[in-house]
Amino acid sequence: MTANDYQQPGRKIRSILIVGGGSAGWMTAAALSQTLSKGCTITLIESEEIGTVGVGEATIPTIKLFNQVLGLDENDFVRATQGSFKLGIQFVSWGKANHRYFHPFGSYGRPFDTVAVHQHWLAARANNDINLDDLCMAWAAASRGKFALPSTDPRNVLSTHDYAYHFDAGLYAGYLRKYSEARGVLRHEGKVAFVQQNGESGFVESVTMEDGRICAADLFIDCSGFRGLLIEGTLKTGYDDWTHWLPCDRALAVPCASSSDFTPYTRSTARAAGWQWRIPLQHRTGNGYVYSSAHISDDEAAATLLANLDGKALGDPRPLRFVTGRRRKSWNKNVIAVGLSSGFMEPLESTSLHLIQANISKILAFFPDRDFDPLVTDEFNRVATHETERIRDFLIMHYHLNVRDEPLWRQCANMDIPGSLQFKIDHFRKCGRLIAREMDLFGPASWTAVHIGQFNFPKRPDPLIDFRNVNGTEYLEKLRGAMRAAAETLPTHQAYIDRNCKAN
């Protein structure tokens, strides 16, 4: 191979068209405009008339990395999006009615031994009243309504929590629009009416807007939402339906006035036919009921939602319908689906914006030239498949491990689950071991929280613990005390925001 072969000057991508301007479209535009700072035009088409899904208010810690790569100032971003901070998710009535547990961001305690903290907790459980939740800094702070950024000193117990954000998804898209336009992204308002494909290859060549404008590009990013205008409408890529594992197919969303309970965490409360979210922002609280239409009518679901708000509803509940599952390929020919066009898993663990970010990272990691070599696209799709299936399993576990009485919950407790999840449940049940798999998004603390929180108690702790000369109860009590004391020193969530990032 000669040096000239490497250069291939004629084959580079010269133009990218993003179809759709929801969170997916503008996150993609922001990241691409930041990275491709020369030599490629980036255009985005969106339609105000069609609008966006507009929900998507809770995130997981990975979003921080996305914002950091863009160079966003955290306080400015939180201020601009009416944001708040999230230390994890409190699950109410999931394993059984009125039971609560916390899925923390960060770790349980500060590991003090080769054996994990939760193993010491399991071993010492009969001899003390320590709640597993009380062994993580995230809950020590969250349960007291406190928040501060983690310490950068690894010896400090305040370094053991992590955090994400709640924010207004519409404001976030607007914020990123400004960012992207400042870096040269061109925006066209209006609807795409037709899509033109190459007669031979089937590659997309251009789209025609309702007003007759034609937009051609080398690479198309489909951010058109559930409809998947290019990836499905044009390329008929196909969709794997996962409703038999994740049966909720509708949601009603309604904001309400803020209450005094400005929690630095999301709350998810299981209901007879699904679950309800509660997400506090600076200017309002976001709420929604995600439910299975086979188990409750829309009217009953709306009544349940409205009866369980902690402030005055600020409008009528907005209906949303979805089919849980995944587009068979996120990347097909010269079209890459990002966001809802690539699939949707319900918002139980706030993973949709993360999956947008993950597809954007992969676009950059596998950035093509105009040859669109299948070697590249196949690997992109392989990784995307693993990422979504690992998240899918984690979500299914929330539904499967329960002892509730209603038909939806009985159905989920008795359903066949993917072998990959059954394997993890079996290992944990045996001796509390966590089995990690390629592309697992959620780490040990997350899996531990849900196993224990939903009563998948191991038959015994890890055999290794019998060889350790550690007084578990004494250490756990020390940890709990250290966290409690540290949490008391933190400002309240409200005070932290007032001081650093209060919206105008």
Ligand X SMILES: Cc1cc2nc3c(=O)[nH]c(=O)nc-3n(C[C@H](O)[C@H](O)[C@H](O)COP(=O)(O)OP(=O)(O)OC[C@H]3O[C@@H](n4cnc5c(N)ncnc54)[C@H](O)[C@@H]3O)c2cc1C
Q: Tell me whether residue 108 or residue 165 sits nearer to ligand X (CB atom).
A: 165
- Applying CB under 6 A, which of residues 180, 263, 330, 352 lies at the interface with ligand X? 352
Residue of 16, 229, 445, 465 that binds ligand X (CB under 6 A): 229
List the one residue from 18, 42, 58, 421 that touches ligand X (CB under 6 A): 58
The answer to the question of residue 50 lying near ligand X (CB under 6 A) is yes
The gap from C-alpha 49 to its chain's centroid, in whole angstroms, comes to 27
Tokens linked to 401 = 């491990």
Please, which residue, 51 or 407, has the CB nearer to ligand X?
51
Taking CB under 6 A as the rule, does residue 350 contact ligand X? yes
Strands of the 343-344 sheet, one edge to the other: 239-241, 325-327, 343-344
CB 467 within 8 A of CB 112: no
- Residues annotated catalytic, as ranges: 86
Name the one range near ligand X by CB under 6 A: 42-50, 412-420, 476-484, 486-494: 42-50
Rounded distance between C-alpha atoms, residue 476 and residue 340, angstroms:
43
Is residue 25 part of the contact set for ligand X (CB under 6 A)?
Answer: yes
- The nearest distance, CB 348 to ligand X, in angstroms, is 9
Q: Confirm if 275 and 304 have CB atoms less than 8 A apart.
A: no
C-alpha separations of 473 from 13, 124, 434, 478, 485 in Å: 61, 6, 22, 9, 18
Tell me if 222 sits within 8 A of 228, measured CB to CB: yes
How many chain residues are in contact with ligand X, going by CB under 6 A? Answer: 38
- Separation of alpha carbons 433 and 283, rounded Å: 42
- How is residue 438 written in tokens? 């390629």
- Residue 313's CB is within 10 A of a number of other CB atoms, namely 14
**Strand ranges across the sheet with 331-332:** 186-189, 41-46, 15-19, 219-222, 335-337, 331-332
Which one of residues 21, 145, 368, 458 is an interface residue with ligand X (CB under 6 A)? Answer: 21
Please report whether residue 339 would count as binding ligand X according to CB under 6 A: yes
Q: Is 195 in the site for ligand X (CB under 6 A)?
A: no
Q: Which of 320, 434, 441, 470 binds ligand X (CB under 6 A)?
A: 320
Among 89, 164, 353, 450, interactor with ligand X by CB under 6 A: 353
Q: Interface mask (CB under 6 A) for ligand X, residues 264-303, using x and -?
A: ------------------------x---------------
Contact 278, 272 (CB under 8 A): no
Q: Does 45 bind ligand X (CB under 6 A)?
A: yes
Binding site for ligand X (CB under 6 A): 19-25, 45-47, 50-53, 55-59, 169, 191-192, 223-225, 227, 229, 251, 253, 288, 320, 322, 339-340, 347, 350, 352-353
